[in-house]
Structure 1
Amino acid sequence: MAIDNNMMEELALLAKFPSKSLHQGLKLHKDADPQLLAAAERLFNKGVIDSVDGGYLTDLGHDLREHLDKLSLALK
């Protein structure tokens, strides 16, 4: 499986979400980097986050964030 630029941007945004709390999220402003906003929209459309401008991780998002942490640890 190849990781394309869109997926890298989505993973980078996912990594910005707090991993230790279910009650913290992110808010992306309208003047944020267009690639970041596009990544957020794609994650929203995939059901990973609950708002097109960030918001909170869904259950799927929490699972993916946990897997991302494990992957990061394994590759260090």
Structure 2
Amino acid sequence: MPFKPELVDELNVLVKFKDSTQEGIKVHKTAAPALIDAAERLFDKGMITQKDGGYLTPRGLVTVEHAHTLHDLLSSNPE
């Protein structure tokens, strides 16, 4: 099953976070509408603390760790 564009947008928001609950992000109202919508969906899913970013929740932290791992694996060149 392919990734839907909405999930890709959510992943793009998530990878902007560091693997920490100490540093948040802000999705500004001038950002691409798809990213604004993605942040709102992540908030609704309980992964971030604010509709426009904020901080990661415990669930969000686990998800970001996986998103970073997936990104790194797909971005690396096999030896």
On whether the aligned pair clears a TM of 0.5, the verdict is: yes
What one-letter code is carried by the residue in structure 2 that aligns with 1:36?
L
Name structure 2 gaps, 5 residues minimum.
none
What one-letter code is carried by the residue in structure 1 that aligns with 2:15?
A
Name structure 1 gaps, 5 residues minimum.
none
TM-score, length basis structure 1: 0.88
**CA deviation digits over 1:41-74, x for unaligned, max 9?**
0101111111001000110110011111222232
In the TM superposition, structure 1's runs of 4+ consecutive aligned residues that sit over 2 Å from their partners are 72-75
Q: Which has the larger radius of gyration?
A: 2
What one-letter code is carried by the residue in structure 2 that aligns with 1:48?
M
* Cα shift at 1:31: 2.1
TM-score, length basis structure 2: 0.85
**Identity between Structure 1 and Structure 2 (%):** 45
Q: Which residue of 2 aligns with 1:70?
A: 69
SS at match of 1:16: coil
The CA RMSD over aligned residues, in Å, is 1.2
Matched residue count:
75
